Amino acid sequence: MTPTRSRRRAAVAVTVAAAALLTASACSSSGGGKATDNATPGFTFASGTATPGMVPDGAGPAMPGMTTSGAATSAAGVPAAPAGPDAVTIDNFAFGPSSLTVKVGTTVTWTNHDEEPHTVVADDGSFRSPTLGNNATYTFTFSKAGSFAYVCSIHPFMHATVVVTQ
């Protein structure tokens, strides 16, 4: 085999391997669990756009009931993080507050302030965010009372609870 032919084969092998890795990284699972209520979650990436690979071609949102929501922006054009009693921050590998009490019908917004990606995943499968990059947000409206424990699926030592009252 000539050196040129050998290099071509190596280049093809590298290209195929890279394509396989990109395809695998673009795939995401739906978590297997179904939401137990009809609340519609939403997420906004820091750029204000969806990440390629999050939505199958022409198939709509990556998860049933999930929609993207518009990001509020500051005067500097940077997405503004929601603040207030119904907001949870993700900072220094922790959810804050670790326990939040809200009334039925309240929309809670999580904002990732870490440079590392995080997720928000309910233990009972009632809600699940996509991977959130820096300054990305995820919202979920709680339509029934109960205690909803959740974790970051990437960093399972991160856990917190939303308590929903009547």
Structure tokens that stand for 29 in this block: 């699972």
Token look-up 């990732």 returns 112
Residue 154: the pLDDT is 97
- The mean pLDDT values, 10 residues at a time, for the chain of 166 residues are 59 52 41 41 45 34 36 40 82 97 97 97 98 97 98 97 97
Residue 84: the pLDDT is 75
Residue 6: the pLDDT is 57
pTM confidence score: 0.55
Residue 148: the pLDDT is 98
Three-class DSSP labels, the chain: CCHHHHHHHHHHHHHHHHHHHHHHHHCCCCCCCCCCCCCCCEEECCCCCCCCCCCCCCCCCCCCCCEECCCCECCCCCECCCCCCCEEEEECCEEECCEEEEECCCEEEEEECCCCCECCEECCCCCECCCECCCCEEEEECCCCEEEEEECCCCCCCEEEEEEEC
Strand 107-112 relative to strand 159-165, pairing: unpaired
Residue 126: the pLDDT is 97
Contact by Cβ (8 Å): 69, 48: no
Token look-up 């990606």 returns 117
CA end-to-end span of the chain: 75
